[in-house]
Amino acid sequence: MKFFITLLYCFFSIVNNAQTKVEGKNKPFSNLPDTLFATKAICNDNYKLKIVESKFFEKEKTCGDYSYNLLWNATKQQKVSLIENLLQFELDTSLSCCPVYCYSNAAKKYTSSIGSTRYTLQIEALYNINLICFAEYAPFKYAPFPVLYDTLSKCEINNDFKKIAEVFTIYKEWFELNKKNGFKNYTFPLINTRYKWIYGSNSLDKIFENFPIIKSDYKFRVGIKVSD
């Protein structure tokens, strides 16, 4: 009797595994992530925004820096949804565990003049949006440091939550406009405003025809720290 029960158990296990494999085969293979979202994670004594990719029958993959390898195969709609997700961190004043760092060789000479040493998850959310929308142009030209700057008062505003809220309003209005236009022929959110990313360029001449593609073999991986 015991042998018979064991035999039945093995039989149903084989049938179940075969069915699972068939279901997996019926789902067309794709490099696209099934979902892509931002989440707040504990990092040392503070927090960090992480981009998470979930995929059918695979373990979730997480990107905790700004390298964006999880975005290589994402669709435009997934990127738009991720930006909407990031804009929800508008009121999160938790400190990021990452210190202020220069992500551009050309701007490293300005590092000693930066007063801010930390930034909040609000600012980290905007910095992530920059990288999604502008790829390598974000750290190299538009936002070499995760530090916001008021050109009228001529001061950094990483600790000024009222002004950060104004920057968020600008980004949200820019996002809604470009979402309607399908993110075609768009440019930087902070053009013609009092705010900028410190030592960055809000060039009117730079137009993005579509979301830039970040390739897996890209020589200068977006967001990876430049060598000292």
Q: What is the average per-residue pLDDT within 5-23?
A: 43
The verdict on residue 149 lying in a domain is: yes
Classify residue 3: in a domain, yes or no.
no
CA 219, CA 40: separation in Å to the nearest integer?
29
Q: DSSP 3-state assignment of 107?
A: helix
pLDDT of 24 higher than 60: no
pTM: 0.79
pLDDT at 6 over 90: no
What is the C-alpha separation between 104 and 222, in angstroms, rounded? 10
Considering its fold, how many domains does the chain have in total? 1
**Alpha-carbon distance 15 to 12, whole Å?**
5
27 within some domain: no
Residues spanned by the domain of 162: 75-197
